[in-house]
Amino acid sequence: MMKKKIILCSAASLAAIPASAQPSNEPLIDRALVFDVVNICGIILALYVVSRFIVTLVQLYLDNRLKTRILAAGTPETVIMQLLQQKQGNSLKAVLQWGCVLASLAAGLAIIYYMGPVTLLSVAVLAGSIAVGLLAYYLLSKRDV
C-alpha cells in the first residue's frame, strides 16, 4: 500500500515538471523586488548602527558620571575595581563578537561579489556567513572561559 502511494506521488511529480516549463529568463526573480529588499535592509542596518552608536555614547557618559560620584562618595577601592573589571570584560566580549560577525559578513559579501548577480541566494549567503561568525564567536568565547 505504501509503495503504491510513493509510486503515485513520484509519477504525479514527474508529470508536473514538463507541464510547468517556463522560459529561461527566471520569472520567479523580480529584480525590482530584490533591489527594494536590499535597500530596505541597508537602511534598517544603517539606522541600527547609528542608534547603537548613540546609545553606547550615552551609556559611556552615564557610566563615567556614576564612577565619578562613586569616587566622590569615598567608596572602597575594591568595590570600584570590581565594577570596572565587569565592564571591561563585557566590552572585550562585545568587541570579539562584533569582530567575528563583521569579518564573516565581509567574507559573505566577497562571496556574493564573485558569484555574480544579486539573487535570493545572496541573502542565504549573508545569513550563513553571519551564522558562521556567531558560531566562531561562541567557540572563541567558550575557549577563553
Angle between helix 31-73 and 77-115 (nearest 10): 170
29 part of a folded domain: no
**Cell numbers linked to 74:** 569615598
87 with 56: CB under 8 angstroms?
Answer: no
pTM of the model: 0.47
126 part of a folded domain: yes
Residue 70: CB atoms within 10 A of its CB come to 14
In one letter, which amino acid is 83? Answer: L
pLDDT, tens digit only, all 145 positions of the chain: 556 666 655 665 655 555 555 555 555 577 787 888 888 888 888 888 888 888 888 887 888 888 888 888 888 878 777 777 766 556 778 888 888 888 998 898 889 888 888 788 888 898 999 999 999 999 988 886 5
CA distance 101 to 53: 17
2 part of a folded domain: no
Specify the number of domains making up the chain.
1
10 part of a folded domain: no
34 part of a folded domain: no
Q: What domain range includes position 51?
A: 41-143
